Amino acid sequence: MIHLSVRNLQKRFGGNHVLKGVSFEVNGPELIGLIGPNGAGKTTLTNVLDGAITPNSGTVYLNGERIDQLQPFEVARAGLGRTFQVTRSFRRMSVLENLYVPALAMGRPGNRHEMQEKAMGVLEFLTMDHLRNEYAQALSGGQQKLLELGRLLMLDPDVVILDEPFAGVHPRLMEIIYAYIRRVNEEGKAIIIISHQMDSIFSLSQRLLVLNFGDLIADGPPDDVKRDPAVIEAYLGTDEDEDAVPRAEGA
Amino acid sequence: MRRHVPNILGLILLVILTAFPFVYTGNDYPYVMHMLITAFFYAILASSWSMLAGYAGQFSFGHIGFMGVGAYTAALFSHYIWLSPQPTGLCTEYQIGGHWLVFVNAIGVTSTTLAQDCLHTAMAKWGESVQVTPMPVWLGILLGTLMGGLFGFLVGVLVLRLRAAYLALFTLGFAEILKATISAEIEFTRGQAGMEMPALFDHGITLFGHHFTRNDKLPPYFVMFGLLLVCLLILAWLAHSKFGLYVRALREDQDAAAALGVNTTRYKVLVFVITTMMAAAAGATQGYYVGIVTPNSLFLLQMSLVVAMAVIGGVENFVAAAIGAVLIEFALEMLRNSFTIGGFVIDMTVWRLVFFGLLLMLTLRFARNGLIAPIIAYFARGHVARETVAKRAAPGSPEVVE
């Protein structure tokens, strides 16, 4: 049973208090949306969770193991994987090589033949098998996003954090990303999606976390969050500006 | 078939270089052989630097410094440690079996005129009755290699958080500090006077019934050529293993590689250790071959030459970098011949470096992957685009469905 426990995370950059004691739990294969205006601390939270940034205080436990003081590669091996807001594929490596990196780092599948088979399966799922030997730099922006997702399928973590997976993606590729999210979730993994695309977030998520200036101001089912006055004021809009809520409802 | 062309050409080149010393009979045999040995030396430096900078993206400008660590470790080892059948009674010495391991005292550059070190004082007293022996050359090369690896480890750990220009400046600083230290520590290193080293085969060597003297070029040719092949084989093995995959991921995006489970610290340090060991091994071997090592061999110009060789060959392919080194070494030698145009004498001892710089600039401007690497890539990866197009056009492919 997957269990991610985030307790009172705080992070300061100089005088900028970016995370002000964020706490939440993830139990089992939840599909969670993490939203908040620009500067809310979403990416910082992700960087703290994956070990890229050490928090000033607070703890993170994944399946009983404390991970907030670990290096990013140790966090990945402990079972937390992520994508980046700006795609970070290994551009001068082939698509297949991009997929082999996490597979070899995790030591699974056990042998090279199985690893190749799994990688080809991932590429077929992402409809990219014809591009397997191309360098990643030859791919479109959307395809590079898919490649990042493919790398996570090879890493096979318990908790997946997707940072802006839908940004700048063609609708057809968006369908593949939706299918990816559903597949990973059905495999029993927890997924945290960070996005500014409210339609996608509200239609996919079973639970929403809302960050505002480093505070977690809401945590609950999307319908409840949509009606939360603090969220409406901070993010979705005031009573005078009803655009955001009806759009979300229509998702 | 086409993708095997580089391997076939490599095999042909290997056969040619192996047979060359036996079939070449020109009057300039020693000169040409010396050029090839020097070219192999630079090829080791360029190819190992290619793994460090081209594959792993660690733009170190201290590679020549690590070469110097190897050369000076071997030189100090050969200069200060000897084996004697009798105790000198003057030096620090330890009995090992029937021999004495003698540590000679440092006296700087005045040894032959004003003062004698403890061993030579004892030898003068002994006359011809006692023969001391220097430490084995292979042990000097081994120690130099290990010391290069140790320095590589230390520098690798220190530069863990440095990237790009900061890494380049740090490693450049390391090489310059090393050169300055060697120049300043005259008592131990003899400063600018340099340290003499025994020949690779001080008493000659007999191979296949033929005796080669210490001045013959064939034995050192095969020593340096063998070292180059060993280095290239190790680099090839590394490049095709998960090590190669990880260091390339490191080059592309260190944070992304770490987020995918790669222990970037370990591989960053490892690539430093392995490549600096190669540079140190080359330095120690070259020191024994040339017979002297001086701080001048650590000049920034030497590092620039290695970088230029790798860049012109192709920095992201260690074989291309090695070929580039050999070609550039030959080109620089060939360009030594001055000539006259319309009454003007072109002094190529000066102008050859200008031509060389021009070639480097043109390569960087028009062929950023070098001149050799794209040829290898054409054969090795030329099929990829065709395959992609063919698969995309196949029934059921995503593009067709769309």
Q: Which of B283, B313, B334 is the last residue of a domain?
A: B334
Q: What percent of chain B has pLDDT over 90?
A: 61
Q: Examine the domain organization and report whether B75 and B58 are in the same domain.
A: yes
Contact B263 A73 (CB under 8 A): yes
Chain B environment of A126 (Cβ under 8 Å): none
Contact list in A for residue B3 (CB cut-off 8 A) is none
Chain B residues 301-320 within an 8 A CB cutoff of chain A: 316
Residues B20 and B161 occupy one common structural domain: yes
ipTM confidence = 0.89
CB-CB neighbors (< 8 A) of A100 in chain B: 242, 245
* B325-329 mean pLDDT: 93
Task: For residue B368, tell me if it sits in a domain.
Answer: no
Could you check whether the bond before residue A29 is cis, i.e. omega within 30 degrees of 0? no
- The band of B401, judged by pLDDT with boundaries at 50, 70 and 90, is very low
List pLDDT tens digits, range A130-179: 999 999 999 988 899 999 999 999 999 999 999 999 888 888 888 899 99
B241–chain A Cβ distance below 8 A for any pair: no
Q: Which of B319, B334, B349 is the last residue of a domain?
A: B334
Q: Quick check: A244 pLDDT over 60?
A: no
Q: Domains in chain A, please, with CATH?
A: 3-86+158-249 (3.40.50.300)
Between chains, do A88 and B255 touch, taking CB under 8 Å as contact?
yes
Beta-bridge mates of residue A31: A191
Residue B345 in domain: no
**Nearest in space to B216 (alpha carbons), one of B195, B202, B235:** B202
Question: Is B363 contained in some domain?
Answer: no
How many other β-carbons are positioned within 10 Å of the β-carbon of residue B273? 18
Look at residue A246 and tell me whether its pLDDT is greater than 50.
no
Does any domain span residue B390? no
Which of B147, B155, B176 shows the shortest CA–CA distance to B72?
B147
Domain that holds residue B184: 2-79+136-334
**CB count in 10 Å sphere of residue B293:** 29
Look at residues B156, B162, B147, B132 and name the one whose alpha carbon lies nearest to residue B62: B156
| Contact call for B249 and A90, based on CB within 8 A | yes
Q: What pLDDT does residue B112 have?
A: 57
Same domain (yes/no): B140, B126: no
Q: Is B258 within 8 Å of A52 when comparing Cβ atoms?
A: yes
- Two structure tokens written together for B88: 């000198």
Round the average pLDDT of chain B to a whole number and report it.
Answer: 89
- Determine, yes or no, domain membership for B279: yes
Q: Which of B334, B363, B395 is the last residue of a domain?
A: B334
CA distance A41 to chain B (A): 19
DSSP-derived letter for residue A209 is E
Note whether B205 and B121 are same-domain residues.
no
Q: Alpha-carbon distance A29 to A207, whole Å? A: 11
State the nearest Cα–Cα gap between A199 and chain B, in angstroms.
24
Q: Under DSSP, is residue B267 helix (H, G, I), strand (E, B) or coil? A: helix
Q: Does B309 map to a domain?
A: yes
Cross-strand partners of B133: B83
In a domain, B385, yes or no: no
Residues B31 and B60 in one domain: yes
Q: Which among B116, B119, B85, B115 is positioned nearest to B103, based on CA atoms?
A: B119
In chain B, residues with a C-beta closer than 8 Å to the C-beta of A119 are: none
Same domain, B42 and B160: yes
Cβ atoms of A85 and A148 within 8 Å: the answer is no
CB–CB contact A90 B387 (8 Å): no
Segment A212-221 mean pLDDT: 91
Q: Which of B245, B260, B386, B388 to mutate to test the interface with A (most CBs of A within 10 A)?
A: B260
Chain A residues with CB under 8 Å of B391 CB are 129-130
Count of Cβ atoms closer than 10 Å to residue A79 Cβ: 21
For residue A228, what is the DSSP state?
A: -
> In chain B, what residues touch A99 (CB-CB under 8 Å)?
none
User: Is B246 within 8 Å of chain A by CB?
Assistant: yes
Instruction: Looking at the structure, tell me whether residues B187 and B292 fall in a common domain.
Output: yes
> CATH number for the domain including B11?
1.10.3470
Could you tell me if B268 and B262 are in contact, meaning their C-beta atoms sit under 8 angstroms apart? no
Is the model's pLDDT at B369 over the cut of 50?
Answer: yes
Q: What is the pLDDT of residues B55-84, one digit of tens each?
A: 999 999 999 999 999 999 999 999 999 999
| B8 and B93 co-located in one domain | no
In a domain, B145, yes or no: yes
Contact B253 A71 (CB under 8 A): no
Provide the strand spans (E) within B97-145.
99-103, 133-134
B123/B150 same-domain check: no
Residues B222 and B325 in one domain: yes
pTM, 2 dp: 0.89
Instruction: Name the domain count of chain B.
Output: 2
pLDDT attached to residue B346: 80
Is A90 close to B248, i.e. CB distance below 8 A? yes
Best of A49, A90, A127, A154 to mutate (most B CBs within 10 Å, chain B)? A90
Are B188 and B225 found together in one domain?
yes
Q: Would you place residue B48 in the very low, low, confident or very high pLDDT band (cuts 50, 70, 90)?
A: very high
The dihedral formed by the CA atoms of B157, B159, B161 and B162, expressed in degrees to the nearest 10? -170
CB within 8 Å: B258 and A130: no
Q: Is B402 in CB contact (< 8 Å) with chain A?
A: yes
pLDDT at residue A240 in the model = 55
In terms of domains, do B50 and B30 share one? yes
